[in-house]
Structure 1
């Protein structure tokens, strides 16, 4: 079991990241959770330190806050349809690399948990922007020297909390998925189930590296 007293999370104002943060604040043994984001999470807890940061291409100004981190949950992301191609690569890949460059210096023994996506192509040969960018993000993580690295590849994520996706097609598809889930006919995961699987694996999985696909996520969440 990994030491997990000090936790770092990015994307804690997002649909999945917010669920991860709530679980962390409910977990025994967690002494500090550092959230780096542009906006407040809306949660209050004496263990939560919120750092408001604007330049995600450079984390050197918050390096002191990245010391002695045991686990990093990287939940920062954007929907492909919401930005141009170059910006999607910047947010998906360059932001991540900027953080890991500093985190690796300040907390080289940290476990890194990446909120990825189904369809990621680590060969980076796929012509689809989404698949290529997500695959590159996985490769960037693999190149780091963190002793434990976990990648989660969920498909459709069903929102359950107040953090809802703004994409119209996502909302329309969500209504269909919600109906199928009532009859257990959908393989989609709720944001709560995905967050639960990420936290359980980070705290308990002793492997050095693993990629969690949809069946793995469902199995862990139901354990």
Structure 2
């Protein structure tokens, strides 16, 4: 692992991406954190470099050693299959390509538990297609996090609260011990920390299932 890392993050306004951002800024081995976003992330730090970009045409980036992809939406928020694919696949892939062109050798991705390019379900199929597309970029290390239902304070980030997450959180308190670890809701911060733990030294493709990212 390089003593001074230059990392890029896409999706820093979301649950996992925001946790990656905060933890990376606190990491002494990280020299610069480049955030690609449409709007400012409302975080101030000497290491932070914001790039307000049009994701359809990302300008050349400065030297990057790692990139973390956490851009995502829901079918409901996107409004159509085409819009969902544009966000979850096209934007993440465009950022990855720009980072690789800037020297990134390692990629960390927030995917989904049932990601599969051959899935019958559109959501899972798109997630799987993105995983495949990133593999073809042939980075030295590719770490794919496949979390179950994400938990975190969306309200603090200015995001709408998802009823499904609220209901699952309360149900989990009652049924938690009976649910297999891979299917239990997981705090976004735990997903972020798992990626930050594995990506810097990754030398192959690694898939982290949700249960592996749960605290022991």
User: Is this a same-fold pair by TM over 0.5?
Assistant: yes
CA–CA distance in 1 between the matches of 2:196 and 2:152? 18
Question: Which of 69, 77, 101 lines up with 2:72 in the alignment?
Answer: 77
Q: Distance in 1 between matches of 2:178 and 2:18?
A: 26
What is the correspondence of 1:115-154 to structure 2 with a 5 Å cutoff? 115-121=110-116, 124-154=117-147
- Match of 1:36, SS state, is strand
Per the TM alignment, residue 110 of structure 1 is displaced from its structure 2 partner at its CA by: 2.3
TM-aligned CA distance change 1:2 to 1:208, over 3 Å: farther
In structure 1, distance between residues paired with 2:2 and 2:167: 37
Count of matched residue pairs: 210
Taking the aligned partners of 2:10 and 2:73, their CA distance within structure 1 comes to 13
What is the root-mean-square deviation in Å for CA atoms of aligned residues?
2.2
Matched, 1:57 2:50: no
SS at match of 1:18: helix
Using the TM superposition, give the Cα deviation of residue 160 of structure 1 relative to its aligned residue in structure 2, in angstroms. Answer: 4.0
C-alpha distance after superposition, 1:36-80 (max 9, x if no partner): 111221211001011112x21221x2x1xx232111111111112
Q: Is the 8 A contact 1:3 1:70 kept in 2?
A: no
1:98 aligns with 2:94: yes
Alpha-carbon deviations, 1:132-169, whole Å to 9, x = none?
A: 10010101111112111110000111114623652543
2:88 is aligned with 1:89: no
Gaps of 5+ in 1: none
Q: 2:170 aligns with which of 162, 172, 176?
A: 176
Do 2:66 and 2:106's aligned partners in 1 also have CA atoms closer than 8 Å?
yes
Length-normalised TM-score, structure 2: 0.87
> Matched residue of 1:7: which SS?
strand
Q: Which residue of 1 aligns with 2:192?
A: 195
The match for 2:150 is 157
Change (3 A) 1:39 1:180: farther
Q: Please state how far the C-alpha of 1:175 moved relative to its aligned partner.
A: 4.2
**Within 2, Cα distance between the matches of 1:47 and 1:174?**
37
